[in-house]
Amino acid sequence: MISNRPRRNRVSAGVRGLVRETSLAASHLVLPLFVHEGPGAHPIASMPGHARLDVELLVQKSREAFELGVPAVALFPAIADGLKNPRGTESLNASGLLQRAVRALKSALPELVVITDVALDPYSSDGHDGVLVDDRIDNDETVPLLAKMAVAQALAGADVVAPSDMMDGRVGAIRRALDEAGKPDVLICSYSVKYASAFYGPFRDALDSAPRAGDKKTYQMDPANVRECLREVRLDEQEGADWLMVKPGLPYADVVRAVSEISELPVAVYHVSGEYAMLKAAAQNGWMDFDKCLIESLLCLRRAGADIIFTYGAIEAARLLKKA
Ligand code: PBG
């Protein structure tokens, strides 16, 4: 006779609901969006359902997400080639594309949490997150530029600035610059543990921001490492980060778990462009069910320990969760 029957806890939807350990809600999600000068929308071939949007369409799309319960968007600008240079100075332009987009969003949707990306790559003629000096990315030349960029974004109205560049010491420099600019309430979401990953491919298509030469392995982490993330996390905590980010998502669930166990700070995870593209491509071939795979992926990231999930599927997920 079998006396121990774990299946009893799965016997009905009601029982399964009572014993469910992890929750997933629209309130956990952040929708990344691409903005361009426009006019209109420019589709991104490798990211079905996403396009570079002009500021007006960006506001529309953000409203759609917000009304479905998604509290936040993360913005990435596609900058015209003519405005790119080695130091990415267009990022500081108070009336540049990104700053205009932030102002438009905050005036149309004041309660939407607007997150901006701090890194040179969309603005850099070299396609790198930092300044290239003699063929290497110069950390200390880059950090003051990042601090100025974060201030420009905060002055435009960004609620959260998210340095994704992986330079050493940038969180502390950004915190000091924000405080000196009279922006002590602007949060820093640090991409603390960002790997040199091939899963960013579709994102780089979207922004036309792939490195012109070389790769990002001297600043982004080696996918082989996990203990190294503890050091990144400790430094970001000391420097004043408000949230910690792990990126990419599913292949790095063990890293999300590790970070959530060592820090009291909220942990965000980025379900990146390549992860979204894989699900879309398989679904378009009739090989997998996009909706189910998306919800399962996001639930697994929550189970791994993520509080906040950046996902290109935020609108789809919010709709599905409403129906469920
Ligand atoms: C660059 C940045 C990247 C992503 C977010 N910020 C790409 C990179 O590091 O090359 C990737 C996001 C995605 O793939 O969805 N600062």
196 touches 225 (CB < 8 A)? no
Ligand 1 midpoint to CA 68 (Å): 25
Ligand 1 midpoint to CA 112 (Å): 22
Of residues 310, 167, 187, the one with CA closest to residue 247: 310
Give the distance between the most distant pair of CA atoms in the chain: 76
Phi then psi dihedrals of residue 273, to 5 deg: -55, -45
Ligand 1 atom having least distance to the Cα of 312: 15
Q: Quick check: 202 pLDDT over 90?
A: yes
The pLDDT value given to residue 108: 98
Taking CA atoms only, the protein residue closest to ligand 1 atom 5 is 164
Any residues with CB less than 8 A from the CB of 107 and at least 6 apart, and which?
none
- Choose one of 75, 121, 170, 297 to mutate for the ligand 1 pocket test, by most ligand atoms within 8 angstroms of C-beta: 121
Taking CA atoms only, the protein residue closest to ligand 1 atom 11 is 200
CATH of the domain at 40: 3.20.20.70
Q: Is residue 16 part of a domain?
A: no
DSSP 8-state secondary structure symbol assigned to residue 189? E
Q: Is residue 260 part of a domain?
A: yes
User: Is residue 247 annotated as part of the catalytic site, yes or no?
Assistant: yes
Phi then psi dihedrals of residue 103, to 5 deg: -60, -40
Q: Is residue 12 part of a domain?
A: no
Determine the Cα–Cα distance for residues 65 and 114; give it in Å rounded to an integer: 12
Q: Is residue 11 part of a domain?
A: no
* Percent of the chain whose predicted confidence (pLDDT) is above 90: 95
H/E/C letters for each residue in 84-137? Answer: CECCCHHHHCCCCHHHHHHHHHHHHCCCCEEEEEECCHHHECCCCCCEEECCEE
Crossing angle of the two packed helices 97-108 and 55-67, in degrees rounded to 10: 40
Determine the Cα–Cα distance for residues 222 and 228; give it in Å rounded to an integer: 9
Determine the Cα–Cα distance for residues 318 and 313; give it in Å rounded to an integer: 8
What is the full DSSP assignment across 164-178?
-S--TTHHHHHHHHH
Q: Quick check: 195 pLDDT over 90?
A: yes
Domains of the chain: total? 1
The pLDDT value given to residue 208: 85
Taking CA atoms only, the protein residue closest to ligand 1 atom 2 is 164
Active-site residue, from 194, 217, 280, 292: 194
The pLDDT value given to residue 253: 98
Ligand 1 midpoint to CA 269 (Å): 13
Q: Is residue 88 part of a domain?
A: yes
The number of residues in the chain equals: 324
Ligand 1 midpoint to CA 203 (Å): 6
Place of tokens 């996403």: 50
Ligand 1 atom having least distance to the Cα of 200: 14
Q: Which residues share a beta bridge with 74?
A: 32, 115
**pLDDT tens for each residue of 35-74:** 999 999 999 999 999 999 999 999 999 999 999 999 999 9
The pLDDT value given to residue 324: 80
Of the CA atoms within 13 Å of residue 266, those in its CB half-sphere come to 11
Q: Quick check: 209 pLDDT over 90?
A: no
Distances in Å between the Cα of 105 and the Cα atoms of 110, 112, 115, 187 are 7, 8, 11, 18
Determine the Cα–Cα distance for residues 6 and 145; give it in Å rounded to an integer: 57
Handedness of CA 48, 302, 250, 220 (dihedral sign): positive
Q: Is residue 53 part of a domain?
A: yes
Ligand 1 midpoint to CA 113 (Å): 20
Taking CA atoms only, the protein residue closest to ligand 1 atom 14 is 200
The pLDDT value given to residue 318: 98
Determine the Cα–Cα distance for residues 93 and 104; give it in Å rounded to an integer: 16
DSSP 8-state secondary structure symbol assigned to residue 10? G
Q: What is the pTM of this model?
A: 0.97
Residues contacting ligand 1 via CB (< 6 Å): 117, 119, 121, 129, 164-165, 200, 203-204, 216, 272-273
Ligand 1 atom having least distance to the Cα of 310: 15
Average pLDDT of the chain, as a whole number: 97
**pLDDT tens for each residue of 125-166:** 999 999 999 999 999 999 999 999 999 999 999 999 999 999
User: Is residue 194 annotated as part of the catalytic site, yes or no?
Assistant: yes
Q: Quick check: 236 pLDDT over 90?
A: yes
Name the residue type at position 33: L
Using a 10 angstrom Cβ sphere, with 0-12 exposed, 13-18 middle and 19 or more buried, the burial of residue 270 is buried
Ligand 1 midpoint to CA 319 (Å): 26
- Tokens of residue 219, six digits: 């600043």
Q: Is residue 5 part of a domain?
A: no
Which residue range forms the structural domain that includes residue 30? Answer: 23-323
Q: How far apart are the first and last CA of the chain?
A: 37
- Choose one of 121, 145, 166, 203 to mutate for the ligand 1 pocket test, by most ligand atoms within 8 angstroms of C-beta: 203
Taking CA atoms only, the protein residue closest to ligand 1 atom 6 is 164
Name the residue type at position 213: A
The CB density around residue 242, as the number of other CB atoms within 10 Å, is 17
Segment 106-124 mean pLDDT: 98
Please calculate the CA angle 66-79-48 and round it to the nearest 5 degrees. Answer: 50
